[in-house]
Amino acid sequence: MTDRKKEFMREAIRLSIENVKSGNGGPFGAVIVKDGEIIARGANEVTSSNDPTAHAEVVAIRNACRNLGSFQLEGCEIYTSCEPCPMCLGAIYWARPEKIYYGNSKKDAAEIKFDDEFIYEEIDKPLTERDLPIEQLLRDEAQEAFIAWKKMDDKIEY
């Protein structure tokens, strides 16, 4: 690993430590790098913002996309203090960076009561067997937006 990669990871780790000390959220930090420079930072803001989606990686992605003026992170790398949870991993895939680097593992996170295994288990279950009830309603009406999207010639695909 190059010294620059270590520097970027250390910044993500620093953010995670600072976040614990400040009481702003959980022990997670992330940075996004493009062309060898940090273009965005994020720390967990779940409790301070009352937003369950405000994980460090999501905050960093939002900041990076705003800074780039793009909804894609082409040519970027994400350095995160912990292996991404299922939500963050999904967000990272949608953002399409080049690579992810992480510090702590999901097993390390589980040991301090940040365990996402139940989500992986839920995803594998049929919809009717999930712990959180899920039911489809008004599909025919909902299709109107999908049909309009499909017909649209000047849409921005992603």
Task: Give catalytic residue positions.
Answer: 57
Bridge partners (DSSP) listed for residue 100: 78
CA 90 from centre of chain: 6
Burial 25-52 (b: 16+ CB within 10 A, else e): bbbbbbbbbbeeebbbbbbbbbeeeeee
